Amino acid sequence: MQAKKVFNAMSPYTPGKQIEDVKKEYGLTKIVKLASNENPFGYSKKVKEAIPSMLDHLEIYPDGNATLLRNKLSTHLNVSADQLVFGCGSDEIVEIISRSYLEEGTNTITAWPTFPQYRHCAKIEGADVKEVPLKNNGDHDLAGMLAEVDENTRVIWLCSPNNPTGNLIQRNEMEDFLNECPKDILVVLDEAYYEYINKATNPNTIDLLEKYSNVIVLRTFSKAYGLANLRVGYGIASKEIATLLNITRGPFNTTSISQMSAIHALEDQDFIKYSYEQNIENKSYFKREMESLGLECYESEANFLFVKLPTSGDQLFEHLLSKGYIVRSGEALGHPNGVRITIGTKEQMTELSQLIKEYLSAVQTTS
Ligand SMILES: *Cc1c(COP(=O)(O)O)cnc(C)c1O
C-alpha cells in the first residue's frame, strides 16, 4: 500500500518516559514526573466530586456541539458561543486548522524550537514548513517570520508562552506583528499556558480578535486545569473561522465526561489561583537555585523552565532518571543543550535542585 509520500520522512511522536517503565528499569518506588508540564497539584476536587454523576448513559453519544460547556465558556471569556471550537485537546485543534487551511503548494511558518505538532500536522497535509529560529534570548523572531511570508503562506503559528523555552510574546510586539501580517493569513496564537501568565503585566489577548479577524487563540484544560487525561482544548476565533473548523472537526470529538469536567473545573477558579501562585513561587525558587549553580534559564511565563547546559541535555536527563526524576531532554525538543523541567511542588524542586548540584560537582571532579 502507498501512503502519502511525506510519511517516508516522518515517525510517531515520542512521548516523555512513562512512570511505570522507569520504576521497572531502575528499581525505584518513587517517581516524580516533571516532563510534560502537567499540574503537580492534580485537578480540582470539584471535578472529582462530580465525576460519579457523569457515569450514567455512557451508551449514548455525547453532545457534539458541547452546548453546556460552550455556553459556560462563552460567558467566562466574554465571547459569543459561535466563536468557539472544541477539540480532543488543543492538539486536535492544531490538526483541524492544518486540515482546513493547508495543502500541497501552500506553506506555513513557525518558530524553532517550538511545539512540534504545528510542523507535524502541516507536513501531513503536504504543506511546506518554514521554521524561523528563536532569538538568542528565546523570543520569537517575529520580523524574521514576517520576512518568510509569500503569496502561498496560509498559517503562522505563534506559541506564547513558547514551549519549550517559556518566553511570552509581549503585547506591543504582538500588535506590531499583526499590523504587518497580511489579513488573509491565519495567525494561530497557542496559549496552552495562559493561566500561568502574570495577568498584571500581560492583559488578556482575546480582545485582539475584535481588531484582527485573522487570529485564532488556542487554550486547553490540560495544563493549569490539570485535566490532560480528559483531552479538552478549544479555539476562540471569529464566527467565520470557528464555523469552518467545526465542519472539519469530527462530530463527537469530546466526551460528556470531558465536557462536564471542564465545566466544573472552570467553576473552581480558586484552584487555578492556587496553582498560579505556587508556580510563581516554586519557579523563582528553582531559577535562583539553578543560577547559583551557574546555569541559565530562559525567562519563562509558563509552568516550566528550560535550563541551559554546556553539553547535551541527555546526560543530565539520564542521571535524574536514575534518581527517579523524569524531565525532558532538550535533544527531543530541538534544543540539544539543556533540559526542560516542569515546575513541581516546593519539596520536589528542592530535591531536584540538590540532585542537579550533586550531578554538576561529580561531572566537574571527573573532568
Ligand atoms: C501541551 C500543549 C498543547 C496541547 O495540549 P492538549 O493536551 O492537546 O490540549 C498545545 N500547545 C502547547 C504549546 C502545549 O505545550
Write out residues with Cβ below 6 Å of ligand 1. 37, 89-91, 115, 159, 163, 190, 192, 220, 222-223, 228, 233
Give the ligand 1 atom nearest the CA of 92: 8
Give the pLDDT band (50/70/90) at residue 362. confident
Whether the pLDDT of residue 20 is over 90: the answer is no
Nearest residue (CA) to ligand 1, atom 6: 89
Give the ligand 1 atom nearest the CA of 232: 9
Give the pLDDT band (50/70/90) at residue 367. low
| pLDDT tens string 89-138 | 999 999 999 999 999 999 999 999 999 999 999 999 999 999 999 999 99
For range 212-233, the mean pLDDT:
98
pLDDT score at 363:
82
Handedness of CA 65, 124, 153, 147 (dihedral sign): positive
Give the pLDDT band (50/70/90) at residue 323. very high
**Alpha-carbon distances, residue 144 vs 131, 147, 177, 207, 343 (angstroms):** 10, 5, 11, 25, 31
Of residues 183 and 15, which shows the higher confidence score? 183
Give the ligand 1 atom nearest the CA of 93: 8
Amino acid at 4: K
Whether the pLDDT of residue 269 is over 80: the answer is yes
Give the ligand 1 atom nearest the CA of 91: 8
| pLDDT tens string 334-357 | 999 999 999 999 999 999 999 999
Nearest residue (CA) to ligand 1, atom 12: 192
Ligand 1 mean position to 191 CA, how many Å? 8
Mutate to test the pocket of ligand 1, among 85, 90, 342 (most ligand atoms within 8 A of CB): 90
Which among 217, 229, 157 has a CA at the least distance from the CA of 193? 217
Whether the pLDDT of residue 15 is over 90: the answer is no
Ligand 1 mean position to 92 CA, how many Å? 9
Mutate to test the pocket of ligand 1, among 37, 39, 85, 91 (most ligand atoms within 8 A of CB): 91
pLDDT score at 117:
97
Ligand 1 mean position to 89 CA, how many Å? 7
Which among 88, 96, 34 has a CA at the least distance from the CA of 258? 88
Mutate to test the pocket of ligand 1, among 117, 121, 222, 234 (most ligand atoms within 8 A of CB): 222
Ligand 1 mean position to 285 CA, how many Å? 25
Of residues 203 and 26, which shows the higher confidence score? 26
As a whole number of angstroms, the distance between CA 316 and CA 319 comes to 5
pLDDT score at 9:
85
Q: Which residue reads 523555552 in cell numbers?
A: 165
Give the ligand 1 atom nearest the CA of 94: 10
Ligand 1 mean position to 88 CA, how many Å? 11
Percent of the chain with pLDDT over 70: 99
Please answer whether residues 119 and 105 qualify as being in contact, where contact means their C-beta atoms are separated by less than 8 angstroms: no
As a whole number of angstroms, the distance between CA 337 and CA 162 comes to 17
In order of their start, the domains of the chain are 5-43+270-366 (3.90.1150.10), 48-268 (3.40.640.10)
pLDDT score at 8:
87
For range 281-304, the mean pLDDT:
98
For range 53-59, the mean pLDDT:
95
pLDDT score at 21:
87
pLDDT score at 71:
98
pLDDT score at 366:
66
For range 313-342, the mean pLDDT:
95
As a whole number of angstroms, the distance between CA 54 and CA 43 comes to 17
| pLDDT tens string 133-161 | 999 999 999 999 999 999 999 999 999 99
Which ranges constitute the DSSP H helices of the chain?
Answer: 19-26, 45-50, 67-77, 90-101, 117-124, 142-147, 171-180, 208-211, 239-248, 256-267, 269-292, 313-322, 346-366
